[in-house]
Amino acid sequence: MEHVPVLVDAIVELFRPPLSGGGIVVDATLGRAGHALRLLTISPDIELIGIDRDPEALEASRTVLSAHQERVRLVRDDFQNVSSVLERLGVAQVCGVLFDLGVSSPQLDDRARGFSFRSDGPLDMRMDTGQSLSASGVVNHYPAGELERVIGRYGEERFARRIARAIVRARPIRSTVALAEIVKSAIPAATRRTGGHPARRTFQAIRIEVNRELDALEIALPDAIEALSTGGRAVVVSYHSLEDRIVKQTFKEQSGECTCPPDFPQCRCGARARVRVLTKRPTRPTQPEIDRNPRSEAAKLRALERLAPVHGERRAP
């Protein structure tokens, strides 16, 4: 499939105010640089730092962004290390940070990467092809209880125990198609007839485990917000409920909403607003966009703006 960046028009409009005066924007999940290219094209005064742990994505992005190469710095790293990346580059504050989470279309479409249950490939699913843990390690070596935990938690799969036991019985499992068939056979026939491919949730869960995606998001998002200058914006596109829940909760905490029990006579938690949430409800793709790019259907966009520090709060110099 042609790479089509998700919700790109909405993202451009959200970033237009903070990028109007120049500055640095971070694309923490660069992928094939579709969003980055649009931002660089409409904002001739900005610089872009692109982070991705997939070396193939970085090489593809280098070509896509070649016309703007003097304004681009590409870094191979995990987005959870956004703070240390900025420190290494000598950048104290940025005017925008973008996270487009999950697996990209080029990764899904490359059967050799092993992300898809629809095409035959090795059990890989690594976004960073240099890391040791792969889907094969999870599928063939995790104890049944750990497999059940992964599939139940990250896939929100109610048949996690049945699937985990079926996987253990079928070991060794060598390919994505073989795994998909095992998962399908473990789910009751009546359930298999609704809700899409029966292996979808299990593949999602294994991918999240392999790449530690949710752990990375919980680390990266507060760090990215801390790096924003006053008026800077963070935009996050998520694709499943677990990601969106983390984004929503982090935004709530940063917005200074009181977390004291309702029976407290007055606030004791010291909550204070550090950001303004720009999306009361997540922005979703329009039907024409979904028609152009069916994989965008699950996308939810949330955004916030960094407020000026309150009296006594210290910011990075």
Question: What's the pLDDT tens digit per position in 38-87?
Answer: 999 999 999 999 999 999 999 999 999 999 999 999 999 999 999 999 99
pLDDT given for residue 259 in this prediction: 67
Both structure tokens of 213: 């995606």
pLDDT given for residue 190 in this prediction: 84
191 burial type by CB count under 10 A (0-12 exposed, 13-18 middle, 19+ buried)? exposed
CATH topology of domain 111-211: DNA polymerase; domain 1 (1.10.150)
pLDDT given for residue 1 in this prediction: 43
Max Cα separation, the chain?
A: 61
Domain layout of the chain by residue ranges: 8-100+213-306, 111-211
Please list the rounded mean pLDDT of every run of 10 residues in the chain (317 residues). 81 96 96 96 96 95 97 97 98 98 90 94 96 97 98 97 98 98 94 84 97 97 97 97 97 82 74 89 96 92 91 44
Q: Which CATH class is domain 8-100+213-306?
A: alpha beta
pLDDT given for residue 268 in this prediction: 72
pLDDT given for residue 315 in this prediction: 45
One-character DSSP codes across the chain = -----TTHHHHHHHHHHHHTT-EEEEETT-TT-HHHHHHHHH-TTEEEEEEES-HHHHHHHHHHTGGGGGGEEEEES-GGGHHHHHHHTT---EEEEEEE-S--HHHHH-GGG---SSS--BS---SSTTSS--HHHHHHHS-HHHHHHHHHHHH--TTHHHHHHHHHHH-S--BHHHHHHHHHHHS-HHHHTSSS-TTHHHHHHHHHHHHTHHHHHHHHHHHHHHHEEEEEEEEEEE-SHHHHHHHHHHHHHHTT---S-TT-SS--S-----EEES-SS-B---HHHHHH-GGGTT-EEEEEEEPPPPTT-----
